[in-house]
Homo-oligomer: A and B are copies of this chain.
Amino acid sequence: MFLGAIDIGGTKTIVAVCDEKGNIIEMENFPTENGDWMVHFRITAEKFIQCVNKLQIDINEDLSGIGINVPGMVDENGILIYAPHQNWRDVHVKDYFSNYFKTDKIIVENDVNSCAVGEMIFGGGGHDFLWITISTGNGGAIIANGQLIRGNQSCAGEFGHLKVEFESPRKCSCGQYGCLEAHSSGTAIKEQFEEALLYDLNLKETVLNKQIKDEKFKIDAYGLSLLAREGNSVAIDIFTRTGMYLGRAISYGVNISNPQTVYLGGGIAESLDLILPAIIMELDKCAIEECGKVTICKTKLGYNAAIIGASALVYLQKDILANL
């Protein structure tokens, strides 16, 4: 049994075939064409067929289904309601690929929801957990009672827009103020790094020295994590605040759904050691005792969480679930 997997991301698209345990057997990635969705979907479908052909297997006979991630909200009919990065609206993703591949075993899901499904099916994630991505922006997903919680309009898990600061809120790309994404995303860390450079001459000198030694050094979240690890107090402060606000958002999530684990994915999760103490301190203050005793860790799926998650979507088909 093989699982088809397609991950259409904001900048990159991946097509893959996995075995029944979510191990990637064949994979290819290429840039996402952000213009006409139909142009990009056609390229994607052809790349996927090439991927399948390399393995000398047949889409209809050898694949149990094809899971497809899209970077936006998806309704229960596999329609992409809105993808902010591409500005795609009301795209009939399931219909398009069903027609192209001549199969009805197409499952379309939001990319973060897929990561959570992957964590449950292949990562041993358990029956009750949160999945939060900390990357350019923040997203989230909830598994409760062993099921993905999609909500009434498929918008559940919007952790990035939980309000975590009311007195000195930063403006968020969504137009509101004080969102987690405005305070604790890769973008927020980069912005705070840039702001600190405006008033802190010591930091500016440190960065200039860094850039002389290493021309790849960038003023971004990764660059700041290098400074924090060297003991730079401004960098440590920014990561501590990032963790504190994440702790607030997580406290809302754990008080509401009482998960066993919170999995963190996305680039900033690689700096978990820099933010975890502040997360835990804020959880101690903000979560009720029983709910605050939650395990917080990086995704077990690693860097390929999204494409592995896409392959896991195949297991959400009812006939397959019944045979699990």
Asked if B147 and A128 sit within 8 Å, CB to CB, the answer is: no
With an 8 A cutoff between CB atoms, is A234 at the interface?
no
Instruction: Tell which of A140, A147, A174 has the most Cβ of chain B within 10 Å.
Output: A147
With an 8 A cutoff between CB atoms, is A252 at the interface?
yes
| Chain B proximity of A313: nearest CB distance (Å) | 16
Asked if B256 and A159 sit within 8 Å, CB to CB, the answer is: yes
Asked if A152 and B248 sit within 8 Å, CB to CB, the answer is: no
Asked if B258 and A152 sit within 8 Å, CB to CB, the answer is: yes
Find chain B residues with CB under 8 A from A28 CB.
none
- How many angstroms between the C-alpha atoms of A159 and B154 in the bound complex? 22
> Mask for A151-187, Cβ within 8 A of B = 1, else 0?
1111111110111011100000010110000000000
Q: Which residue of chain B lies nearest to A177 when distances are taken between CB atoms in the complex?
A: B285
- How many angstroms between the C-alpha atoms of A151 and B145 in the bound complex? 7
With an 8 A cutoff between CB atoms, is A290 at the interface?
yes
Of the candidates B140, B167, B291, the one whose C-beta lies within 8 Å of that of A167 is B167
- Contacts A128-B151, A144-B151, A288-B174 given; does A156 touch B260 at CB 8 Å: no
Asked if B255 and A159 sit within 8 Å, CB to CB, the answer is: yes
Q: Which residue of chain B lies nearest to A129 when distances are taken between CB atoms in the complex?
A: B152
With an 8 A cutoff between CB atoms, is A22 at the interface?
no
Find chain B residues with CB under 8 A from A176 CB.
285-286, 288
Find chain B residues with CB under 8 A from A257 CB.
142, 149, 151, 156, 256-257
With an 8 A cutoff between CB atoms, is A259 at the interface?
yes
With an 8 A cutoff between CB atoms, is A73 at the interface?
yes
With an 8 A cutoff between CB atoms, is A251 at the interface?
yes
Interface residues of A (CB under 8 A from B): 73, 126-128, 140, 142, 144-145, 147, 149-159, 161-163, 165-167, 174, 176-177, 248, 251-253, 255-260, 285-288, 290-291
**Known contacts A149-B257, A167-B167, A176-B288, then 18 further A-B pairs from the complex at CB < 8 Å, ordered by chain A residue:** A127-B152, A142-B256, A144-B144, A144-B156, A145-B145, A145-B149, A147-B147, A155-B290, A156-B256, A157-B256, A158-B258, A159-B255, A162-B256, A163-B248, A165-B166, A166-B166, A176-B286, A252-B256
